[in-house]
Structure 1
Amino acid sequence: MDDDLIDDDLIPLSRRSKLPGKGFFYPDSLDEERAEQRAKETIEGAETVVIADGDADGLACAAMIREYYGAELDVAAFEAAIEDRVPETGPGDVPEAETVEEVAAEAAEAAEALESEGDEAEDGDDGDDAEDPTEDAHTRSSVALVSAGPYSLDDAFERVLAYGEPDLDLYVCDLCPDEYAWIGDELEALAEQAAAIRWFDHHQWDDAAAAAVREAGVDLVVGESDEECTADVTLRSLEYDFDEQWAELAAVTRDHDLWLKEDPRSDDLADYAHWSGAEEYVTVVGAYGADLPDSVGDFLAHRRVEKENRIEAAVGRATFQAVGDWSVAVTYGRCSQNEVAERLRKQGADAAVIVKPAGSASIRGSEDFQRAHEVAGKVNGGGHPQAAGCKPDIYDDMLDYAQHWTTEGQATRKVILSAFEEVAEEAAAEAEAEEAEAAEAEAAEAEAEDTE
């Protein structure tokens, strides 16, 4: 394939935001080989292994665990690498333009090629792979870090089994399996091999899955998903006298992870976790906490030029549809789904669906819609009441993806909107049952009064 066909610097925003990132076009077989080799290098010889989600919450937990073991890396080399990534021409030098496409074209002259924005690695833009400041950073700490997603947890367990030392300490952070069956064999084998396994999370667990994990010998601590992030859970679960900066890091991470939006630093953490490598993020927040250094601030400002353009493009593509009592906004594109959802909420959406070029979708709710996880659960996904993700199983070959890109995800939109319809019907049935129950209770009370 001609590299120019997937080079973000050469493709206008109106087109590149409709396509997946470069990594999508890299065959899974080759990606698997690279991931296996990297895991081997990372895990071999480590005394402790942390398997964590690659977002700000999961990586904050990894930073805490390295602090707990005294296994943090030197931040100086990472800071130098950050400064080298920001060109002399910054976002402030980009001329004003009348359209989103013109702004993006000007920004591209000063910007690096950008990877996908999103909460899943399916777009082919794994932050850990994108920008490692030192080639062997993943091998240096005695506390190895393995980034994983909820659907790659079994692979991560298998790699720890294959390359981990006997009697190592294993931590799993910010990850929740949909069901125990698909991780059970690996986890039980690890429980026999490891000295201890501790699992910290804040997602909504199935009771049976949680019980099975605990029965396997794992110390599982699950926080309240609407009150804590996993960094909170990790902070209170480790018996260690953490400095105040760690409590502040957990609080700011929670601000973004629970979508509270009360601390502007939380967006910085979320963006930085997405745009940097995992080793870099863990090292920098371990050294600075939630108050990121100026070099990171410059880097974020540089990257946000393109981010803002993609948000505007996605919001402009949105359509609104009434489903039951809810207004559902649906859009398509490679963009920052949380910010897009927030803007669509301000336009009156109770729920927002952001369909991604790689085939997955993010579902975001609001105070008036707290069933995002129910919708996602009907289309091969899951998550929280106000934040969930899914990837409908409707892509059989590249022709299906070609149709997906050229129609801006019409098939995916249809499947997810059908799931909304199902949830709306269930909600209506629940409301009707509650009304009937209330009426019966009222009638019983009135009858009791008459009898008296």
Structure 2
Amino acid sequence: MDEELIDSSRLSLSRKSQLPGAGFFYPDSLDEERAEERVKEAVEDAEAVVIADTDADGLGCVALVREMYGAALDVATFEDDVARRVERWEATGPIDDEDEDDEDEDAPKSTVALVGAGPYSLDDALERVAKHAPEGIDAYVCDLCPDEYEYVDDELAALVERASSVSWYDHHQWGDDVLAAVRDAGVELVVGESDEVCSTDVTLDSLDYEFDDRWAELAAVTRDHDLWLKEDERSDDLSDYAYWVSPEEYVTVVGAYGVDLPPVVEQFIELRRVEKQELIDAALDRAEITQVGPWTVGVTYGRCSQNEVAEGLRERGTDAAVIVKPAGSASIRGTDEFQRAHEVAGQVNGGGHPKAAGCKPDIYDDMLDYAHHWTTNGSAAKRVILAAFERVAEDVEAEEAAAAEAEADDDQDEGVETER
């Protein structure tokens, strides 16, 4: 395939909004081989390893662990890289997202290795670390939650056997059976309240180390975005920066500066935000609003920042937002009026929080399905997710009817007792 065909920097904004990034078109086998090699290189000489989600919350946990171990990398190298990207961006215009994410094979390594993972790759990350890490390593898992224990059973057991200790810090909603099984496996598991704290909060409170005040500030600002509180404008900077750069860069820079990012990083963020806003506007322009049960739901499609799009739909009066992505996944965002995002996602191969969840409908059998997905702005995925909303609405109606019936029975019993 001609590589220019998947080079996002050559596309118009409209087409870039409708198509996935270049990484989508790489075979999974190549990604798996590269991931295996990267994990091996990262952990083979490490004293500790953190398996974490690569958003700002998960990476904040990594920065904390590195601080405790005195294993932060030199920030100057990363600042120089940011300056070069700024210069290139200003000279040539937008560059492909994935050009900025590439890890330098000769980059310095921390003795606290970082292994990025997501909800659907957690088992692979656990398995690779258990396979390649030295005996007696300290292992941490942060900002990740398995939907079912059986998904990580064997892999976690192998890691517990390999490591001297395994600690797990998270704030998602865990099932009681999964909680018990992970703890029974020999893991120190701490799970915070998902609507009160982020995983960086949990990690900060759980590590046996005296952190200075800037780390509490980092946790607070990370929480502001992760829980979508939107009370501190700096939280958008952290979230955007984590999304746009390599995990190692983010961990190193926030580890050195906390929430007060250096000027060159702020300049980089401002440059990127011009295109970011254009992609948000494109997604909002193609949004549709529909009524499902008691909820007004906004549905759209595009490569964009889902939180900002969800906020834009909320301002239009929606209770919930669905943002379908070109790669096939979708984000579901709620409000105070809709706190069942995780229930909807759970019916469509996903999960998450009451107000923020993600999923990937199992509807893509071949590339023709993806071609249809791109050319119809995700119509099939939208239908499947809206059907999940309808099922949840039916469950809510049934719950309310059962509650009303139970209340009526109680009133009747009280009336009989009064007559006696």
- Fold match by TM threshold 0.5: yes
What do residues 148-170 of structure 1 show as CA deviations (whole Å, max 9, x unaligned)?
A: 11111111111112110001100
Aligned to 1:44: 44
What secondary structure is seen at the aligned counterpart in 2 of 1:359?
Answer: coil
Deviation at 1:4, TM superposition (A): 2.4
Aligned to 1:386: 355
Aligned pair 1:404/2:360, yes or no?
A: no
Aligned pair 1:319/2:288, yes or no?
A: yes
What do residues 167-193 of structure 1 show as CA deviations (whole Å, max 9, x unaligned)?
A: 110000000001111211111122122
What do residues 98-127 of structure 1 show as CA deviations (whole Å, max 9, x unaligned)?
A: xxxxxxxxxx95222235xxxxxxxxx9x8
Deviation at 1:374, TM superposition (A): 0.5
Deviation at 1:196, TM superposition (A): 0.4
Q: Distance in 2 between matches of 1:241 and 1:136?
A: 33
Deviation at 1:89, TM superposition (A): 6.8
Deviation at 1:15, TM superposition (A): 1.5
Q: Distance in 1 between matches of 2:168 and 2:363?
A: 33
Q: Distance in 1 between matches of 2:4 and 2:183?
A: 51
Match of 1:112 among 84, 95, 102: 95
What do residues 317-376 of structure 1 show as CA deviations (whole Å, max 9, x unaligned)?
A: 001111001011110000000000000011011111001111111001111000100000
Q: How does 1:184-195 map to 2 (within 5 A)?
A: 184-195=153-164
Tell me the amino acid that sits aligned with residue 2 of structure 1.
D
Deviation at 1:87, TM superposition (A): 2.5
Match of 2:334 among 365, 369, 387: 365
| Equivalenced residues, count | 420
What secondary structure is seen at the aligned counterpart in 1 of 2:67?
Answer: helix
Deviation at 1:447, TM superposition (A): 3.1
Deviation at 1:438, TM superposition (A): 1.8
- Sort the Cα spacing of 1:88 and 1:401 in 2 relative to 1 into closer, same or farther, 3 A: closer
Match of 1:296 among 234, 245, 265: 265
Aligned to 2:250: 281
Aligned pair 1:35/2:31, yes or no?
A: no
Q: Distance in 2 between matches of 1:114 and 1:166?
A: 37
Q: How does 1:52-451 map to 2 (within 5 A)?
A: 52-87=52-87, 90=90, 110-115=93-98, 130-132=101-103, 134-137=104-107, 140-451=109-420
Tell me the amino acid that sits aligned with residue 17 of structure 1.
S
Deviation at 1:12, TM superposition (A): 1.3
Tell me the amino acid that sits aligned with residue 364 of structure 2.
Y
Equivalent pair of 1:87/1:110 in contact (CA under 8 Å)? no
Q: Distance in 1 between matches of 2:409 and 2:301?
A: 46
Structure 2 runs not aligned, ≥5 long: none
User: What is the aligned-residue identity percentage?
Assistant: 65
Q: Distance in 1 between matches of 2:163 and 2:18?
A: 45
Equivalent pair of 2:75/2:256 in contact (CA under 8 Å)? yes
Equivalent pair of 1:9/1:109 in contact (CA under 8 Å)? no
Tell me the amino acid that sits aligned with residue 234 of structure 2.
R
Equivalent pair of 2:145/2:170 in contact (CA under 8 Å)? yes
Q: Distance in 1 between matches of 2:46 and 2:92?
A: 43
Deviation at 1:440, TM superposition (A): 2.0
Equivalent pair of 2:51/2:117 in contact (CA under 8 Å)? yes
Aligned to 1:17: 17
What secondary structure is seen at the aligned counterpart in 2 of 1:17?
Answer: helix
Q: Distance in 1 between matches of 2:411 and 2:200?
A: 46
What secondary structure is seen at the aligned counterpart in 1 of 2:345?
Answer: helix
Equivalent pair of 1:48/1:144 in contact (CA under 8 Å)? yes
Q: Distance in 2 between matches of 1:194 and 1:89?
A: 43
Q: Distance in 1 between matches of 2:406 and 2:264?
A: 60
Structure 1 runs not aligned, ≥5 long: 91-107, 116-124
CA RMSD of the aligned region, Å? 1.5
What secondary structure is seen at the aligned counterpart in 1 of 2:10?
Answer: coil
Aligned to 1:94: none
Equivalent pair of 2:63/2:251 in contact (CA under 8 Å)? yes
Q: Distance in 2 between matches of 1:264 and 1:72?
A: 26
Q: Distance in 2 between matches of 1:88 and 1:334?
A: 23
Normalising by structure 1, we get a TM-score of 0.90
Deviation at 1:290, TM superposition (A): 1.1
What secondary structure is seen at the aligned counterpart in 1 of 2:14?
Answer: helix
Tell me the amino acid that sits aligned with residue 186 of structure 1.
E
Equivalent pair of 2:89/2:95 in contact (CA under 8 Å)? no
Equivalent pair of 2:139/2:163 in contact (CA under 8 Å)? yes
Q: Distance in 1 between matches of 2:198 and 2:76?
A: 29
